[in-house]
C-alpha cells in the first residue's frame, strides 16, 4: 500500500495505520478496517482532513476558515477551525497536524494512507489494473459543506481530475485485456468506465466487443441488449444518441443476426468460454514446446495476427483517426544553391508547425531521414513521388507530403501535395507563395491541417482563410471559448489571431461583433478599417455569412431563411451554419423549426467533446435548445437541455450559467444562485456572470443582497464592473419605488459607459410613472430614429433597415404604453398603424405583434376588456416576452372577473429576468397585482403574502409609487 509521508510521532497512530477513504464516500478507517464513528458524525471535520490530506503544500488558516466556516464572522470561524484541528489531533495523534505561524498541514510522519493518492500514484506508475481497482467512485461523492462555494470549487476540480485519470486508466486496462482476449474482465472494467463516463464512445465499444467476443448468436444478442440499454439511457438522461461508431457496430451485429441460419447449440457464457480457452491455451503451450522452430514462428505469426484482428475489432483508439503525416520530400526544383538548405529546412519548419496541433500526428524529420538512408533513398534530387511514398510507408505514415521549391524576384513558390500512403491517392494539391519562408511554411501547415479537419466525420469549421497557423489556432480557440462562455478568453484569442494576421477576415468580423455588443466605440472604427482593407481575402464562408447578415438585418425574412438553409447545405458539418439558421428561425418566432435545426446540429456529433473532434457542436445546440424551450414556456425541457450541457461540460461557466437561468425561470432561486455562483467561479471573476447573479437576487426579492453586490463591484477596478454595478443599483432602486434615485444612477451610467445607453428607455419609463409624460415622449422619439440606415453593408455591423425598423417599433410601443392613460385614442391609433406598417421591415418577430399591444390599450380605454384581452394575447411573444403585455392582459382579465387567468398571466411575467423586455415592469408591481388577483380569487392568505412583498419593497418609495398601495386596500386598478 502506498503510504503518504505525512505521519505522526504518536506510536498508537503508527500502529493503527489509519486509511482515509475519499473515492465514492468519505470515511476514516482504523487499523481494523472499521470506520471511525466520532469523525463519521462530524462530516465537516472529516472534509477538513481530506483537504489537508490532498494538499501538496500547507494551507493558510484564513483560507481554511473561509472554506468551511465562511458564513460565520471572522472570530467565530477561526475558533471553529481551531476546534476542528484539536479534534483531529486527538484522533490521529498530538503531532499529526503542524501549525507554523498562520499555516496548517498534516505532519510528514503521519502513518495514514489516502486512497486517492494511492490511485494517482498507480496511474503515474502505469499500473492501470491497480488504479482501476482503487477507484471506488467520484471523489467525496455526496459530501457538501453548506454555503461554501470555495469548498465546492475545490471538490469539483479534484473530482474532475481523478475522474479523467480513471477514464484513461480504464482505457489502457481495457486495451491490454482486449489484446490478451480477457473479454470478461474487459467487460467489467468497461462497464465501470461507462458508468462514470456515460458519453464515452470508447467505453461503449469495449462493452459491445467484449460481450460479442464468444462469437455466438447469444453473445451477439447480449451485445445488442447492452447497446439498446445504452441508447435508452442516452435518450432518457441526455437526449443524445450513441456515437456513430457504436451505432455502426450495433448495426453490423443486427445484420449478422438477421442473416444467420446457425442452429447449433449455444456456446457457454463468457466465464465458461474463458476457462475453456485457458485450458486450450495450456495444451497449445505444451504442444508448442515440443514443436519445431518453424512451428514456433508460425504460432507467433498467428498470435500476432489475432492480436491485430482483436485491436481492429474493438475500434478503440480514436487517436488512430488522426492522420500520421510525414513530410518526405521537398525538392529544389531548379537546383538553386542559395536555397538548397530548404530541402531539409522546410521539412523541419512544416513538421514543427504541424506538431503544435492535435489534429495530426507528425513523424519526426530525423526518423524520415533514417528510413530514407536505410532503403538507400537519401539523395532527394533523384527521388520520385513513388520513392517518397515508400519512405512514408516505412515510417508508418498515413499521409505523405511532397513538394518542390523555387525562388524568383525575392518570392518563394512552393508546389505541394498531400497523398494517402495506402492508396497513393492525391488528397490535396496547392501552391503557396511568399517573401518570408516562415510564412510559406505556415501556409503549407494550415492547408494540411484544413485537409485533416475536413476528413473527420464530426463537426468542422469551414473556410477559415489564413496563411498563419498561429492565427488559425487562436481563432479556433476563440470559438470554443465563446461556446464555453469564457468571454475574456474569447476576446484575447481573437485579438491574438488578428495580431498574427491583420487581414484575417473571419477573426476581424467576429471581433467587430463582440466590440459592438460591448459598446467599445473606440475599437469599432479601427476594426472596420482592417475589414475594408482585407475584404478581398474573404473566404466563401465569409461572403455567404455577410450576404446572410445583410438580408437578415434588412428584414428580408424569406430571403434570409433561404440563404441560411443554403449555408447549412453548403457547409453541412459546420455548427456555425446551423446556429445561423436556428437564430433566424428564433428571431422569426418559428420555434419548432428552430428546435429541429438545433437537433440536427446536435446530431453532427452527439459526443463531440467525448471524442475530441472539432468544435463543440453539442454545446451550441444544447445552449440553443435550452433558451428556445425557456422562451416557449417549456421550463422542464429547458432545464433538461441545460443539465445535459453541464454533464457534457462540467468545467465551463456557460453550461452552469444556462442551468442557473433555467432554474431562475422556474422560480427556484436558491438553486439558481448556487449554480450561478459556480459559473462565476469557473469564469474566474467575470463581471458578466456576476451581473447575472445580481439579476437573480432581484428576481428572488433579495434587494439588500443585490445592493451589497453592486456596492462591492464599485470598489473593484474595471469599467465592466462599474457599469454593471450602476445598472444593478438602478434596478434595485426601481424595485423599491425610488424612481428619482434610479434616474440619477442612470444619468451617471449613461454619461460614463456607452454600453449602458439602452438604460435611457428605462429612464423614460420612470418619467412616465412620475407623470413627466413630455420628458418620456422626448426620449422615446429620440430612440425611434437612432442612426441612419442603409440597404447594403460597408462593414459587418452596419445598421440596416431592419435595425432601424426594430428601434422604431419598440420605442413607439413603449411610448404608447406610457401615454395610454391620458392620450386620446386618435394618437394611439396613429402609433398602432405606424408600428404595424414599419414592423414588416423588422427582423425580430416580436415587433410584428407590437401593434396588437397598442390596440389592446385602445380597447381598454373604451372599456372593451374582452377585445383588449384578445389583442394582448395576440401580442404575446413567446411565453414570457414583454412583461408589460402580461401585466396588461392580467388587468383585462381582472376587469372581466377572471382572476385565475390573471394569475396565470402574471406568473409568466415573473419568469423573465429584469433585463431586455423584462425590465419595464417592476417585480414589486407584479406583486401588487398578484395580491389583488388572489383576493379576487378568494385566496386571502396568498393575497397577504404578495401584499407583504410589495409593502416591504415600497416602504420608502417615492410618493407617486406609494400612492399605488391604496389598491391593496380597495382593490381598484
pLDDT in tens, 689-704: 999 999 999 999 999 9
Confidence of residue 276 (pLDDT cuts 50, 70, 90): very low
Q: Which residue has the higher pLDDT, 581 or 76?
A: 581
Which pLDDT score, from 0 to 100, does residue 271 have?
Answer: 38
pLDDT beyond 50 at 317: no
Determine contact, residues 339/407, Cβ cutoff 8 Å. Answer: yes
* Residue scoring higher pLDDT (336 or 795): 336
Q: Average pLDDT in the 576-591 region?
A: 93
State the burial class of residue 63 (Cβ atoms within 10 Å of its Cβ: 0-12, 13-18, 19+).
middle
Which pLDDT does position 605 carry in this prediction?
57
Residue 692: predicted pLDDT: 94
Residue 216: predicted pLDDT: 84
Per-residue pLDDT band at 792 (split at 50, 70, 90):
low
Instruction: Check pLDDT > 70 for residue 894.
Output: yes
- With bands split at pLDDT 50, 70 and 90, how would you rate the model's confidence at 287? very low
Band of the pLDDT at 890, cuts 50, 70, 90? very high
Whether the pLDDT of residue 926 is over 50: the answer is yes
Compute the average pLDDT of residues 531-559.
Answer: 89
Q: What average pLDDT does this structure show over 861-878?
A: 94
Residue 193 clears pLDDT 50, i.e. is over it = yes
Indicate the pLDDT class of residue 935, thresholds 50, 70 and 90: very high
Share of the chain above pLDDT 90, in %: 40
Q: 342-375 b/e with 16+ CB inside 10 Å = b?
A: beebbbbbbbebbeebebbbbbebeebbebbeee
**Mean pLDDT over residues 545-550, rounded?**
91
Burial 29-58 (b: 16+ CB within 10 A, else e): beeeeeebeebeebebbbbbbbbbbbeeeb
Report residue 403: phi and psi, to 5°: -170, 175
pLDDT band for position 386 (50/70/90)?
A: confident
What's the average model confidence in pLDDT over 869-894?
A: 91
Q: Residue 277: how many CB atoms within 10 A of its CB?
A: 14
| Predicted local confidence at residue 611, as pLDDT | 35
**DSSP annotation string for 220-286:** HHHHHHHHHHHHHHIIIIIS----HHHHHHHHHHHHHHHH----SPPPP-HHHHHHHHHHHHHHHHH
Across the range 404-413, mean pLDDT stands at: 83
Quick one: average pLDDT of 375-399? 79
Q: Are 641 and 505 in contact (CB under 8 A)?
A: no
197 SS3 class:
coil
- Any residues with CB less than 8 A from the CB of 803 and at least 6 apart, and which? 553, 787, 789
**Mean pLDDT (whole number) for 766-776:** 93
Residue, of 481 and 747, whose pLDDT is higher: 747
- DSSP strand pairing (103-106 vs 97-100): antiparallel
The answer to whether the CB of 177 falls within 8 A of the CB of 193 is no
**Is the pLDDT assigned to residue 685 strictly greater than 80?**
no
Residue 588 sits at the vertex; the CA angle it makes with 668 and 515, to the nearest 5 degrees, is 75
188 pLDDT higher than 60: yes
For 115-174, write each residue's pLDDT tens digit.
Answer: 999 999 999 998 999 999 999 999 998 887 876 777 887 888 899 899 989 999 998 999
CA 127, CA 39: separation in Å to the nearest integer?
32
Is the confidence at residue 325, as pLDDT, over 70? yes
Average pLDDT over all residues of the chain: 83
Residue 729 pLDDT: 95
Q: What is the pLDDT of residue 606?
A: 45
pLDDT of residue 434: 78
Strands 111-114 and 18-21: parallel
Cα 684 to Cα 200: distance, rounded to the nearest angstrom: 28
In this predicted structure, the answer to whether residue 854 has a pLDDT above a threshold of 60 is: yes
How far apart are the C-alpha atoms of 866 and 863, rounded to whole Å?
9
Average pLDDT score over residue span 329-349: 84
Cβ atoms 494, 510 nearer than 8 A: yes
Dihedral over Cα of 748, 753, 759, 761: its sign: positive
Q: Output the pLDDT for position 298.
A: 29
The stretch 344-348 carries a mean pLDDT of: 86
Which segment of 48-52, 464-468, 592-596 scores lowest on mean pLDDT? 464-468
pLDDT at 487: 85
pLDDT of residue 379: 65
* pLDDT number for residue 369: 85
pLDDT at position 677 over 90: yes
- 288-315 exposure pattern, b = at least 16 Cβ within 10 A, e = fewer: eeeeeeeeeeeeeeeeeeeeeebeeebb
Q: What pLDDT sits at residue 365?
A: 86
Q: Which residues pair with 5 in a beta bridge?
A: 111
pTM above 0.75, yes or no: no
Asked if pLDDT for residue 69 goes beyond 60, the answer is yes
Strand order in the sheet with 426-434: 361-362, 324-332, 399-408, 411-420, 426-434
Cell numbers describing residue 36: 471511525
Three-class SS string for 360-415?
CEECCHHHHHHHHHHCCCCCHHHCCHHHHHHHHHHCCCCEEEEEEEEEECCEEEEE
**DSSP notation for 60-74:** EHHHHHHHHHTTS-H
State mean pLDDT over 436-464.
Answer: 73
Q: What is the pLDDT of residue 743?
A: 94
Model pLDDT, residue 786? 57
What region, left, alpha or beta, does residue 612 occupy, with left being phi > 0 and alpha being psi -120 to 50 degrees?
left
Amino acid at each position: 500500500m502506498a503510504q503518504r509521508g505525512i505521519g505522526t510521532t504518536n506510536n498508537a497512530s503508527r500502529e493503527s495505520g489509519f486509511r482515509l477513504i475519499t473515492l465514492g464516500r468519505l470515511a476514516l478507517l482504523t487499523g481494523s478496517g472499521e470506520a471511525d464513528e466520532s469523525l463519521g458524525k462530524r462530516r465537516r471535520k472529516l472534509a477538513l482532513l481530506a483537504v489537508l490530506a490532498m494538499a501538496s503544500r500547507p494551507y493558510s488558516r484564513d483560507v481554511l476558515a473561509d472554506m468551511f466556516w465562511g458564513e460565520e464572522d471572522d472570530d467565530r470561524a477561526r475558533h471553529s477551525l481551531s476546534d476542528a484541528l484539536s479534534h483531529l489531533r486527538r484522533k490521529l495523534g498530538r503531532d499529526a497536524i503542524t501549525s507554523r505561524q498562520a499555516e496548517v498541514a498534516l505532519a510528514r510522519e503521519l502513518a495514514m494512507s489516502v486512497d486517492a493518492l494511492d490511485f494517482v500514484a498507480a496511474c503515474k506508475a502505469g499500473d492501470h489494473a491497480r488504479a482501476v481497482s482503487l477507484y471506488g467512485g467520484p471523489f467525496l461523492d455526496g459530501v457538501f459543506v453548506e454555503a461554501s462555494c470555495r469548498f465546492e470549487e475545490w471538490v469539483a476540480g479534484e473530482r474532475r481530475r481523478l475522474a479523467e485519470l480513471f477514464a484513461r486508466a480504464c482505457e489502457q486496462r481495457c486495451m491490454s485485456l482486449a489484446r490478451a482476449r480477457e473479454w470478461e474482465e474487459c467487460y467489467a472494467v468497461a462497464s465501470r468506465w461507462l458508468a462514470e463516463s456515460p458519453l464515452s464512445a470508447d467505453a461503449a465499444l469495449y462493452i459491445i466487443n467484449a460481450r460479442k467476443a464468444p462469437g455466438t448468436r447469444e453473445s451477439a444478442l447480449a451485445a445488442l441488449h447492452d447497446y439498446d440499454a445504452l441508447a435508452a439511457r442516452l435518450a432518457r438522461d441526455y437526449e443524445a444518441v450513441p456515437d456513430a461508431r457504436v451505432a455502426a457496430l450495433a448495426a453490423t451485429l443486427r445484420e449478422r443476426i438477421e442473416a444467420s441460419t446457425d442452429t447449433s447449440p449455444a456456446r457457454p457464457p463468457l466465464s465458461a468460454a474463458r476457462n475453456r480457452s485457458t485450458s486450450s491455451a495450456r495444451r497449445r503451450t505444451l504442444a508448442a514446446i515440443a514443436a519445431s522452430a518453424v512451428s514456433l514462428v508460425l504460432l507467433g505469426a498467428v498470435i500476432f495476427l489475432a492480436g491485430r484482428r482483436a485491436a481492429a475489432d474493438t475500434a478503440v483508439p480514436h487517436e488512430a483517426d488522426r492522420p500520421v503525416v510525414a513530410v518526405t520530400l521537398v525538392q529544389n526544383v531548379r537546383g538553386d544553391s542559395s536555397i538548397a538548405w530548404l530541402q531539409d529546412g522546410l521539412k523541419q519548419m512544416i513538421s514543427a508547425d504541424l506538431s503544435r496541433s492535435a489534429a495530426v500526428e507528425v513523424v519526426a524529420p530525423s526518423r524520415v531521414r533514417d528510413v530514407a538512408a536505410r532503403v538507400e533513398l537519401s539523395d532527394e534530387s533523384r527521388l520520385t513521388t513513388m520513392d517518397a511514398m515508400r519512405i512514408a510507408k516505412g515510417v508508418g505514415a498515413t499521409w505523405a507530403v511532397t513538394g518542390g521549391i523555387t525562388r524568383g524576384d525575392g518570392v518563394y513558390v512552393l508546389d505541394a501535395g498531400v497523398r494517402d500512403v495506402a492508396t497513393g491517392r492525391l488528397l490535396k494539391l496547392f501552391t503557396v507563395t511568399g517573401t518570408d519562408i516562415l510564412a510559406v511554411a505556415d501556409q503549407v501547415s494550415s492547408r494540411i491541417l484544413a485537409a485533416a479537419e475536413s476528413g473527420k466525420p464530426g463537426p468542422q469549421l469551414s473556410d477559415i482563410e489564413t496563411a498563419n497557423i498561429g492565427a488559425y489556432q487562436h481563432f479556433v480557440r476563440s470559438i470554443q471559448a465563446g461556446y464555453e462562455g469564457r468571454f475574456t478568453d474569447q476576446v484575447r484569442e481573437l485579438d491574438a489571431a488578428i495580431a498574427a494576421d491583420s487581414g484575417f477576415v473571419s477573426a476581424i468580423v467576429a471581433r467587430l461583433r463582440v466590440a459592438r455588443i460591448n459598446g467599445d466605440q473606440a475599437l469599432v472604427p479601427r476594426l472596420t478599417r482592417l475589414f475594408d482593407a482585407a475584404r478581398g481575402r474573404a473566404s466563401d464562408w465569409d461572403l455567404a455569412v455577410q450576404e446572410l447578415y445583410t438580408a437578415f438585418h434588412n428584414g428580408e425574412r424569406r430571403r434570409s431563411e433561404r440563404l441560411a438553409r443554403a449555408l447549412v447545405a453548403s457547409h453541412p458539418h459546420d455548427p456555425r451554419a446551423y446556429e445561423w439558421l436556428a437564430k433566424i428561425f428564433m428571431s422569426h418566432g418559428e420555434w419548432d423549426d428552430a428546435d429541429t435545426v438545433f437537433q440536427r446540429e446536435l446530431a453532427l456529433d452527439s459526443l463531440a467533446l467525448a471524442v475530441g473532434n472539432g468544435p463543440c457542436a453539442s454545446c451550441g445546440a444544447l445552449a440553443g435548445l435550452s433558451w428556445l424551450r425557456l422562451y416557449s414556456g417549456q421550463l422542464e425541457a429547458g432545464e433538461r437541455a441545460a443539465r445535459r450541457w453541464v454533464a457534457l461540460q462540467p468545467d465551463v461557466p456557460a453550461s452552469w450559467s444556462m442551468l442557473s437561468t433555467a432554474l431562475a425561470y422556474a422560480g427556484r432561486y436558491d438553486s439558481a444562485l448556487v449554480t450561478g455562483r459556480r459559473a462565476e467561479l469557473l469564469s474566474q471573476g467575470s463581471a458578466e456572470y456576476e451581473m447575472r447573479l445580481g439579476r437573480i437576487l432581484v428576481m428572488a426579492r433579495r434587494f439588500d443582497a443585490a445592493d451589497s453586490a453592486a456596492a462591492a463591484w464599485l470598489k473593484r477596478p474595471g469599467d465592466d464592473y462599474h457599469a454593471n454595478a450602476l445598472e444593478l443599483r438602478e434596478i434595485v432602486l426601481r424595485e423599491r419605488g425610488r424612481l428619482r434615485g434610479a434616474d440619477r444612477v442612470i444619468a451617471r451610467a449613461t454619461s460614463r459607459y456607452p454600453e449602458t445607453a439602452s438604460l435611457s428607455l428605462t429612464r423614460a419609463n420612470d418619467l412616465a410613472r412620475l407623470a413627466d409624460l413630455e420628458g418620456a415622449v422626448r426620449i422615446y422619439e429620440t430612440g425611434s430614429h437612432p442612426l441612419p440606415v442603409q440597404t447594403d453593408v460597408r462593414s459587418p455591423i452596419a445598421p440596416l433597415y431592419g435595425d432601424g425598423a426594430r428601434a422604431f417599433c419598440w420605442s413607439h410601443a413603449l411610448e404608447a404604453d406610457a401615454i395610454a392613460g391620458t392620450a386620446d385614442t386618435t394618437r394611439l391609433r396613429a402609433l398602432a398603424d405606424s408600428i404595424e406598417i414599419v414592423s414588416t421591415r423588422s427582423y425580430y418577430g416580436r415587433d410584428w405583434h407590437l401593434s396588437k399591444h397598442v390596440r389592446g390599450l385602445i380597447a381598454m380605454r373604451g372599456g372593451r376588456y374582452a377585445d383588449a384581452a384578445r389583442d394582448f394575447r395576440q401580442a404575446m411573444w413567446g411565453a414570457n416576452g414583454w412583461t408589460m403585455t402580461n401585466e396588461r392582459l392580467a388587468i383585462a382579465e381582472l376587469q372581466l372577473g377572471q382572476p385565475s387567468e390573471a394569475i396565470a398571466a402574471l406568473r409568466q411575467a415573473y419568469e423573465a429576468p429584469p433585463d431586455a423586455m423584462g425590465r419595464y415592469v417592476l417585480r414589486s408591481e407584479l406583486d401588487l397585482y398578484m395580491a389583488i388577483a388572489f383576493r379576487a380569487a378568494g385566496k386571502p392568505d396568498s393575497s397577504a403574502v404578495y401584499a407583504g412583498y410589495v409593502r416591504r419593497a415600497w416602504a420608502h418609495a417615492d410618493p407617486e409609487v406609494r400612492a399605488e398601495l391604496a389598491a391593496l386596500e380597495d382593490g381598484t386598478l
